[in-house]
Structure 1
């Protein structure tokens, strides 16, 4: 018998761990139709006809966040055969709020009392049998992290699905509330499915507009129901939603008192609480976080990560794949152009991306450990009070942190942000942080024109962070992004030792996503770049050319070079390097090597390349070029990630356009005004444009926010005073 079981629970209750335990490798990951919330489903191990659907982590079925909208829509419309409600055994009272709502849907529910190992360790006791009697459903003790009880919960859910209990629900509500709900049920009976009658009655009582729209009730019936609701509000002296919420918590409190016995005193601190007193301390939190991140990046990007990347680039990609394929094809007598396409175009282009994979995997491994331990949830909490001042949520920091390694997983990490407005803003700004692929550009110019100064790299990160902060201020004053950042609500899970299975699964999923997306885009773009560099018109005849100045790439670059002239690098080589940087940022260095005829085996520390770059640029024009390429649209792979997360072509174009426009403005101001100060640039149209852009930016930053509620109130009171003065 085919059966669909939905997993539902609060964030950080162990739902994903249980999903992995139940499905193993039989998983399918995508996005829910029309939204960017991740959708996971898989076949239950040993039961090919049983599908496990992992719902987003939610606190209730009230549609305040995108995750709650998705979960509610799925449960109400898709009608799973049963629900496994994962409850954090260390926080039963808070988790049962969602449980009461799920049971009222009329769908068979099995409660998985998770983290039971921690409950036992704490010396607490939960009377599962009595809890099941109170709620009218089966309760199973589980520890998903240890693989304990998950399959038992699934088997009970399968049995419950075969014998549904339509119409059953706990006796949560009392007095006039129950009377009003009964009256609403009677009034709408026949308009909705019997098993969901109680749920719809509660939503009508709460004046849920979406439910009113779904049921399409006539106005006379709406007015009739509204009278009963108002009577209940008058009697209880509160609004309908608060009345329902209060009675839920009163009911849950009684159940917890009867079924849960805590060994520790009510207000005592758990071991996690004691650690958090230090880790989330206002003074110590940031230094501790800086030390942890330094260690992570030292392991990923330091000697160990560099060794792995150098071996992948120099041995695996260059000697084994590239040189080996060239020798093999030449030995077979394959045509030179096809040999160049395969070894230089395809393998060389994809190899440049594969070189970064070891560092990415080490970074993903370390971040997965921090996530599984429970520290990353604290990081978002720590950064929230800082980011909130600039219109961003604390959860925006995680994508930006990950983006410093690679923009692709950084953009993908934005899906943890519930608020759609905050998520879009995070996606538009995450790639301002210099990623690992931009490091060769910084190293090249630092060595060629700034005597290897470390301040160049430091300034690059400072500029990226400044761009994020300024963007937060600017965008919050526009209609699409107006309003306070969403309230920051996050469950802080108890600290625990990381699970090797979970850590390696998360590392592999992120790493494979990077390889798959980046590799496919680079493969196609490398072939196109190879063709444009190798072919052109010579003496009026189209064919392969030896001089790059005669190539199609040179013609395209020359046509677009005028766009960059105000920025100080208006030659076709710089234009081409900028365009190839859109394919992959590390392509900028290799493109310079080819176009300046340095040779094929080049790197950012190649002395010959340094000399060629130093002859081609001044310090000011080089710095302008670097700023533009650090801040403009990211590589194709990251653009693809932006397209996937935005899930909308217009928003994707707006995000890429904003990044390019911001980068152009920053580079224009730096080159034109910097050149005016140093005497390298004479006052002219470009300088006037830079002054105008700077004035516009300052105006947009410091102008009052007309969408801010405080500003609207002060404006309204000012108008009132003027009206009274006239009177």
Structure 2
């Protein structure tokens, strides 16, 4: 029996996207503590709750697929579980992907610590017409507690807490997979040697299995000569036998799986086809951008009308209170024009994220990594590296952080290097504005081509760096493709709202401040306020860059200033054009006509516009992304080198596009 005054330490462990963190938050409420795991940049979140007078301290570990120490997340979670202070493991399982999740479960049971299986997302199982035998499943796992829970609906929490307290007192239970006689004989012999050398070592069987798998962490922590026992790496055999056991569990406990699997296989025959998989992916993304432009532009018209009214209202109000001309100009021409111009692109952003959320929640995005695995393999990376790149279509910051899942530092850095070339949502306003202004009949094709070019440049650079490194390492993609499902409205809504909120947040902070700063550098010079913008600080800064940008067809100081401002956030490029050229509603039909006319006066045409979009596609990401890259790589020198490299790539390709385009058109 336990001491009632002793705090029970519980670790939440599970696959990525199993609902573990949502359940953890429901379990702990607001009593959270966030820090970093010692020596790494992966966050550690701890919380506390009380159940019937018993204090329970909980730890949310990084999402992992196994306890094999390949990625930072796996190493961190494993170290946490090996810590003697962890009393109980809550293994959060996505019930709709039971087969994939149970592999980690079997590894956790080998640790010989109390394990509780929390079956999350049972509503999805029911929606798919499947059933899980909740009596047979615990039996086949050695009578460990199996608790159906709903992280979103906060159901099953009391039962889960009761299981924690009760199971902590009972101690470890659960099935241990019995391997072939040959492997079992090896395990027994290794256990004997380990016991002789490390008599106090707990979990002898788990350590013995890890030695058979050539686990570096175990070998380094407990050096011992086993060459006369272990003749080769048994990892694949052990994995296969675990999955054989899981197959039996699924056969016994999951009803109606075959019907759903058959439907998934029929769809995958097309979407993951070795030849047609990539063209279909590009076609699906083309459809996404078709919706982004057509539906988004329809809704955008109402935002433009609202901005016109707001601009007129603010001007009349400032005039009515007899505000100074410079204050009126700051509010109307600076803040309203800059921030308001960005907000008019909100419908396009909303449609883009809505489409991406549907693709993600339906199970298709996992297929993209699988489809791209062969292409990525040819440039020295696996399909796992394509997952951060996919996230880059939304935002570079989480995309860079997602590179943590890659097994080696070399691959993480290579992936971080190429991920910013993916067109994040912040670049979309630039594409929408200039493609509709200069390629009105083919705006969709012009904008879509930039996404494809970004992808091609990323893969090309990955290929070049692979040839330079000349590494012979192979990184195999191991991923289970989830069954297709109807996207959950609530999940999609949360995803879209989170992205839209972030966009609005930038409009209210970064872009707001950038618009004010830009207005001041446009309207002030060495002698105070100026009426001629060509005498302003902005003009002085821009003129310095004219010789560099002229070969790319961007030799106007106002364009140079707009590109500099885009380093704070890419959306600021559009708001800067609005402020620089004095257009209050730059995204309206009248605003685009006025801007194209002003640009035309300095010889800026369609070729220049495409070169500009190429430059904005490829040049260094925003400050937030650069800061994240510095944090993830731990190297300021490498980060600055990456920024300079991306500037060079952007300049070179923009020059190539402009020079060749000028000869053709």
TM-score range, shorter chain: 0.7 to 0.9
Q: Secondary structure at the match of 2:531?
A: coil
Alignment partner, residue 191 of structure 2: 181
**Against the structure 1 CA distance between its residues 66 and 334, is the aligned structure 2 distance closer, same or farther, given a 3 Å change threshold?**
same
**Which deviates further from its counterpart, 31-40 or 76-85?**
31-40
Task: Give the structure 2 partner of residue 230 of structure 1.
Answer: 227
In structure 2, C-alpha distance between the alignment counterparts of 1:130 and 1:447, rounded to whole Å: 60
Show the 5 A alignment for 1:280-679.
Answer: 280-282=272-274, 285-286=277-278, 289-290=281-282, 292-303=284-295, 305-312=296-303, 314-315=305-306, 319-320=309-310, 324=313, 328=317, 331-332=320-321, 335-338=324-327, 340-342=329-331, 344-346=333-335, 348-397=337-386, 400=389, 403-404=392-393, 421-435=410-424, 437-438=426-427, 441=430, 454=443, 456-457=446-447, 459-479=449-469, 482=471, 486-516=475-505, 519-537=508-526, 542-589=527-574, 591-592=576-577, 594-595=579-580, 599-603=583-587, 606-617=592-603, 619=605, 621=608, 623-640=610-627, 642-643=629-630, 646=633, 648-671=635-658
| Alpha carbons 2:187, 2:209 under 8 Å: kept | no
Q: How many residues align?
A: 649
Contact 1:582–1:636 (CA<8 Å) still a contact in 2? yes
- Change beyond 3 A, Cα 1:114–1:432: closer
Q: Name the SS of the counterpart of 1:486 in structure 2.
A: coil
> Given the alignment of the two structures, is residue 277 of structure 1 paired with residue 284 of structure 2, yes or no?
no
* Pair 1:140-2:139 in alignment: no
Q: Is the 8 A contact 2:291 2:351 kept in 1?
A: yes
SS of residue in 2 equivalent to 1:610 = helix
Structure-2-length-normalised TM-score:
0.80
Asked if the contact 2:14/2:20 (under 8 Å) is kept, the reply is yes
Quote how far apart the aligned CAs of 1:547 are.
Answer: 1.0
Paired with 1:518 and 1:167, the residues of 2 have a C-alpha distance of 54
SS state at 2:545 partner: helix
Q: Is the 8 A contact 2:619 2:646 kept in 1?
A: yes
Q: Which residue of 2 aligns with 1:706?
A: none
8 Å Cα contact 1:136/1:170 also seen in 2: no
- Residues 90-122 of structure 1 show CA distances to partners (whole Å, capped at 9, x for unaligned) of 776664442343234354211234566748944
1:400 shift after superposition: 4.7
Q: How far did 1:660 drift?
A: 0.7
Would the alpha carbon gap of residues 414 and 202 (structure 1) be closer, same or farther in structure 2, given more than 3 Å must change? closer
Segments of 5+ residues of structure 1 without an aligned counterpart are 216-221, 681-727
CA contact (8 A) 2:510 2:569 kept: no
Q: TM-score, normalised by structure 1?
A: 0.74
CA distance in 2, matches of 1:611, 1:534: 23
Pick one of 4, 13, 19 that aligns with 1:8. Answer: 13
Counterpart in the other structure of 1:721: none
Q: Secondary structure at 1:85's aligned position in 2?
A: strand
User: How far did residue 334 of structure 1 move?
Assistant: 5.2
Matched position secondary structure for 2:194 = helix
- 1:216-261 residue CA offsets vs partner (Å, 9 max, x unmatched): xxxxxx4xx41xx33333xxx64465676577668x469849x935
Whole-angstrom CA distance in 2 between matches of 1:387 and 1:498? 28
Structure 1 residues 526 and 408: CA distance shift in structure 2, 3 A: farther
Q: Specify which structure has the bigger relative contact order, considering alpha-carbon pairs within 8 angstroms and separated by 6 or more residues.
A: 2
Distance 1:599 1:89 in 2: 54
* Distance change in 2, residues 1:263/1:664 (3 Å): closer
Using the TM superposition, give the Cα deviation of residue 78 of structure 1 relative to its aligned residue in structure 2, in angstroms.
8.5
Does structure 2 conserve the Cα–Cα contact (< 8 Å) formed by 1:181 and 1:205? Answer: no
SS of residue in 2 equivalent to 1:7: strand
Distance 1:672 1:122 in 2: 60
Q: 2:108 maps to what in 1?
A: 102
> Is the contact between residue 429 and residue 471 of structure 1 (CA under 8 Å) also seen in structure 2?
yes
Larger Rg: 1
Report whether the alignment pairs 1:56 with 2:45.
no
Contact 1:521/1:636, CA 8 A, preserved across alignment: no
- CA shift, 1:184, in A, is 0.8
Q: Distance in 1 between matches of 2:486 and 2:354?
A: 15
Q: Following TM superposition, by how much is the alpha carbon of 1:520 offset from its aligned partner in structure 2, in angstroms?
A: 3.2
Over the aligned positions, Cα root-mean-square deviation in angstroms equals 4.5
Task: Give per-residue Cα distances to partners, 1:67-97, cap 9 Å, x unaligned.
Answer: 2122213323484442111345577666444
**2:342–2:574 contact (8 Å) kept in structure 1:** no
**In structure 2, C-alpha distance between the alignment counterparts of 1:24 and 1:188, rounded to whole Å:** 42
C-alpha distance in structure 2 between counterparts of 1:469 and 1:294, whole Å: 19
**Deviation of residue 587 (structure 1)?**
4.2
Q: Which secondary structure does the structure 1 equivalent of 2:476 belong to? A: coil
- Mark the CA change 1:450 to 1:278 in structure 2 (over 3 Å): closer, same or farther: closer
Query: Does the CA-based 8 Å contact 1:44-1:50 persist in structure 2?
Result: yes
- Secondary structure of the equivalent of 2:66? coil
Q: Is the 8 A contact 1:409 1:514 kept in 2?
A: no
